[in-house]
């Protein structure tokens, strides 16, 4: 049986303010809280709910259990020419990527190109949020990341690989850039969580591998599931 959940409709401004307030309540600095809230709300506004405010409870739990440090002392390491490495020191991914984007802009001005890596970070939200910002500045952006194991290799049934998302954005002759945001699996794992929270079944054919027979819904846990590899989930839109 599928349980349908009726979700309320709220304004983006109200959602932003509430999200920021929740983050501040767990000692996230005000500016960082606003940045994180903006990235989550923007994902929801685009319809990418797997990377939207549904992530907020996970962030709060991670802060409370020490998985994310709200006031991490981030620092730059191994700066050389057009390259740099940011040690995020266990802090929020959004804060780390924002600092990396600022550094990339500086390096591009001096060298015409930039390669910036981040270590010791966490979930940074939807890649399109960050890549499109760089594209609006007239830059071509290529953003990649590793993830935890959630993808079964071809012919397998156990999660070994990550979804390892990548985002590409570039300016056009018009006012809007082109942004491509994709995973190396057949879908984003966050969509599984979103389907569970909303009480919706998930697509099965060619996308997921279930070791349980009932459809995954709000009343069943997201266990025994891995996404198939050898396919991509692609979303392309003008920002």
Q: Distance between CA 9 and CA 15 in Å, rounded?
A: 10
Q: Distance between CA 16 and CA 116 in Å, rounded?
A: 29
Name the token pair of 17.
């303010």
Whether 160 and 147 have beta carbons less than 8 Å apart is answered as no
Report pTM: 0.80
∠147-149-150 over CA atoms, to 5°?
100
Sign of CA dihedral 182, 227, 153, 159: positive
Q: Which residues 6+ apart lie within 8 Å of 47 measured at CB?
A: none
Q: What are phi and psi of 36, to 5 degrees?
A: -65, -45
Q: What is the pLDDT of residue 9?
A: 85
Q: What is the pLDDT of residue 152?
A: 82
Q: How many CA atoms within 13 Å lie on the side-chain side of 117?
A: 10
Alpha helices in the chain (DSSP H): 12-25, 30-46, 56-64, 93-111, 127-136, 189-198
- Containing H/E element for 167? strand 166-170
Tens of pLDDT along the chain (239 residues) come to 566 667 778 899 999 999 999 999 999 999 999 999 999 999 999 888 889 999 999 999 999 999 999 999 999 999 999 999 999 999 999 999 999 999 999 999 999 999 999 999 999 999 999 999 999 999 999 999 988 888 888 777 788 888 889 999 999 988 899 999 988 877 666 666 667 677 777 655 445 554 544 444 433 444 444 455 544 333 344 44
Matching CATH number, 10-66, of 3.40.50.300, 1.10.1530.10, 1.10.3210.10, 3.20.20.70: 1.10.1530.10
**For the chain, domain boundaries:** 10-66, 192-227
Q: Distance between CA 47 and CA 41 in Å, rounded?
A: 10
Q: What are phi and psi of 48, to 5 degrees?
A: -95, 70
Q: Which residues 6+ apart lie within 8 Å of 189 measured at CB?
A: 50, 147, 150, 163, 227
């Amino acid at each position: 049986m599928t349980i349908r959940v009726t979700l309320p409709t709220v304004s983006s401004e109200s959602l932003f303010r509430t999200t920021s307030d929740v983050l501040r309540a767990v000692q996230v600095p005000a500016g960082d809280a606003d940045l994180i809230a903006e990235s989550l709300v923007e994902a929801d506004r685009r319809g990418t709910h797997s990377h939207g405010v549904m992530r907020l409870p996970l962030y709060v739990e991670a802060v409370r259990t020490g998985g994310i440090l709200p006031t991490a002392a981030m620092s730059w390491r191994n700066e050389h020419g057009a390259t740099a490495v940011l040690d995020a020191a266990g802090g929020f991914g959004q804060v780390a990527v924002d600092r990396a984007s600022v550094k990339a802009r500086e390096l591009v001005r001096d060298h015409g190109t930039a390669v910036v890596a981040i270590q010791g970070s966490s979930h940074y939200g939807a890649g399109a949020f960050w890549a499109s910002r760089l594209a609006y500045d007239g830059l071509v952006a290529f953003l990649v990341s590793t993830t935890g194991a959630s993808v079964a290799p071809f012919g397998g049934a156990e999660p070994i690989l990550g979804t390892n998302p990548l985002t590409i954005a570039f300016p056009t002759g018009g006012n809007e850039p082109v942004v491509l945001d994709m995973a190396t699996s057949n879908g984003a794992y966050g969509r599984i969580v979103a389907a569970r929270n909303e009480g919706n079944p998930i697509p099965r054919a060619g996308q997921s591998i279930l070791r349980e027979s009932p459809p995954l819904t709000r009343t069943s846990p997201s266990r025994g599931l891995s996404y198939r590899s050898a396919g991509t989930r692609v979303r392309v839109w003008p920002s």
